[in-house]
Chain A
Amino acid sequence: MSVLTISDLRKEFGDLVAVDDVNFAVDDGEFVSILGPSGSGKSTILRMIAGFETPTAGTIEIEGENVTAAPPFDREVNMVFQSLALFPHLTVAENIGYGLVESGVPEDERRERIAEMLEVVELSGYQDRNIDQLSGGEQQRVALARAIVNEPKIVLFDEPLASLDRKLRQHMQFELQRIQEETGITFLYVTHDQEVAMAVSDRMLVLNDGEMEQLDSVETIYDKPASKFVAQFIGDINLVPASIVEANGTDVTVDSRGNRIHVSDAAGRCVDAVSLEEGADVSVGIRPTGITLGDPDREDVFSVRGEIQNRGYAGDETVYTIDTEYGSFTANTEDRSYDIGDDVTVWWPADEVYLFAPETETASVSDGGGEP
Chain B
Amino acid sequence: MSALNTLEGFIHRHGDRIGRGLMVLILTLIWIPIGVVVLMSFAGEGVLSFPPETYTVRWYAEVLNNDDAISATLTSLRVSLVATPITVLISLLAAYGVARYDFRGKNALQALLTLPIIVPLVVTGVAMTLFFGNINLSSGFTTVVIAHIVRTVPFAALIIIPTVIGFDRTLEEASKDLGASELRTFRRVTLPNIMPGVIAGGLLAFTVSFNEFVYTYFVRDTATQTLPVYLWGLIRYGFSPEVNVISVLFLLLAAGILLVAVSLTGLKQVILRG
Contact A73 B173 (CB under 8 A): no
Residue from B171, B176, B269, B273 in contact with A73 in the complex, judged by beta carbons closer than 8 Å = B176
Contact B177 A78 (CB under 8 A): yes
CB closest residue in chain A, given B191 = A89
Contact B179 A150 (CB under 8 A): yes
CB proximity to B under 8 Å, residues A32-75: 50-52, 71-73
CB closest residue in chain B, given A97 = B178
Interface centre among A85, A99, A103 (most CB of B within 10 A): A85
Asked if B90 CB lies within 8 Å of chain A CBs, one says no
The secondary-structure label for the interface of chain B is helix
Mask: chain A, 71-100; 1 = CB below 8 Å from B; 0 = not = 111000111010101111111001000110
Asked if B170 CB lies within 8 Å of chain A CBs, one says yes
Contact B170 A85 (CB under 8 A): yes
Residue from A50, A77, A85 in contact with B168 in the complex, judged by beta carbons closer than 8 Å = A85
- Shortest distance in angstroms between B59's beta carbon and chain A's nearest beta carbon? 46
Residues of B within 8 A of A146 (CB): 178
Residues of B within 8 A of A98 (CB): 175, 178, 180, 188
CB proximity to A under 8 Å, residues B226-274: 268-269, 272-273
In the complex with contacts A73-B180, A79-B177, A102-B179, A88-B170 CB distance below 8 A: no
| Alpha-carbon distance between A8 and B272 when the two chains are bound, in angstroms | 44
- Shortest distance in angstroms between B182's beta carbon and chain A's nearest beta carbon? 8
Q: Bin chain A's interface residue count.
A: 20 to 34
| Alpha-carbon distance between A150 and B177 when the two chains are bound, in angstroms | 11
In the complex with contacts A89-B192, A90-B273, A94-B273, A99-B179 CB distance below 8 A: yes
Mask: chain A, 108-151; 1 = CB below 8 Å from B; 0 = not = 00000000000000000000001000000000000000100010
| Alpha-carbon distance between A88 and B184 when the two chains are bound, in angstroms | 17
In the complex with contacts A72-B176, A73-B176, A83-B192 CB distance below 8 A: no
CB closest residue in chain A, given B175 = A98
Residues of B within 8 A of A130 (CB): 269
Contact A150 B193 (CB under 8 A): no
CB proximity to A under 8 Å, residues B142-172: 168, 170-171
Residues of A within 8 A of B168 (CB): 83, 85
Contact A73 B174 (CB under 8 A): no
Mask: chain A, 270-299; 1 = CB below 8 Å from B; 0 = not = 000000000000000000000000000000
Contact A103 B179 (CB under 8 A): yes
| Alpha-carbon distance between A50 and B181 when the two chains are bound, in angstroms | 14
In the complex with contacts A73-B179, A73-B181, A79-B174 CB distance below 8 A: yes
CB proximity to A under 8 Å, residues B170-219: 170-171, 173-181, 184, 188-189, 192-193
- Shortest distance in angstroms between A92's beta carbon and chain B's nearest beta carbon? 13
Residues of A within 8 A of B268 (CB): 89
Contact B269 A102 (CB under 8 A): no
Residue from A81, A89, A99 in contact with B269 in the complex, judged by beta carbons closer than 8 Å = A89
| Alpha-carbon distance between A98 and B179 when the two chains are bound, in angstroms | 9
Contact A89 B179 (CB under 8 A): no
A–B complex contacts, Cβ < 8 Å, 11 sampled? A73-B176, A73-B179, A79-B177, A83-B170, A85-B174, A89-B269, A89-B272, A90-B273, A98-B180, A103-B179, A150-B178
Apart from A71-B176, A98-B188, what are 15 other A-B pairs with CB-CB below 8 Å?
Answer: A72-B173, A73-B179, A77-B177, A78-B177, A78-B178, A81-B174, A83-B170, A87-B174, A87-B189, A88-B171, A89-B189, A89-B192, A98-B180, A102-B179, A150-B178
